Amino acid sequence: MIKLVRVDHRLIHGQVAFSWLKFLETDCILIASDGLLKDELRMAGLRMAKPSNVKLVMKNMEDSIKALNSGVTDKYRLFILCESVEDVYRLAKGSDRIREINLGGTKSGADRKAISKAVHLSETDVEMVKELVNDGKKVFVQMVPDDTSTDVMNLL
């Protein structure tokens, strides 16, 4: 069962490892990313950062979509992490099992507009988010479980 799908460019860090995992009672993290799998050092760091009682799986986008659609992940209380809006867009387009998306943190930059303290979106990101919303996905901004969840369309 998918507990949460989150976009967070930092992937596993304090908010994720402590606040979200405890709140969601997650037993497995799936990181869906093509780029991450090309960086063995980063993958090793993420393995060390994850709590010991949680399984960590890192897959490319194609394999992540296949795993979700096949039902092999259904036995887990799954927390899915993506590094970018583009990654979560690809994942959500590939699997109708994703119904809600949490925007938790994206990189800032000259070509990006801040819609919250930690979420910065490019024009392309905004178009992808709008398309996901039009597809019936609930997209919201929320840093930690104690924060109020805000519908992304109210921030755009």
DSSP letter string over the chain? -EEEEEEETT-SSHIIIIIIHHHHT-SEEEEE-TTGGG-HHHHHHHHHHS-TTSEEEEE-HHHHHHHHHHTTTTTS-EEEEESSHHHHHHHHHH-TT--EEEEEE----TT-EESSSS-EE-HHHHHHHHHHHHTT-EEEE-SSTTSPPEEGGGT-
| Per-residue pLDDT at 16 | 77
Average pLDDT value for residue range 17-25: 89
pLDDT digits (tens, 9 = 90+) for 61-88: 999 999 999 999 999 999 999 999 999 9
| Per-residue pLDDT at 100 | 98
Residue 15, pLDDT above cutoff 80: no
| Per-residue pLDDT at 17 | 74
| Per-residue pLDDT at 35 | 92
Nearest to 99 by CA among 71, 117, 80, 77: 80
Helix axes 123-134, 85-94, angle to 10 degrees: 30
pLDDT digits (tens, 9 = 90+) for 23-48: 999 999 999 999 999 999 999 999 99
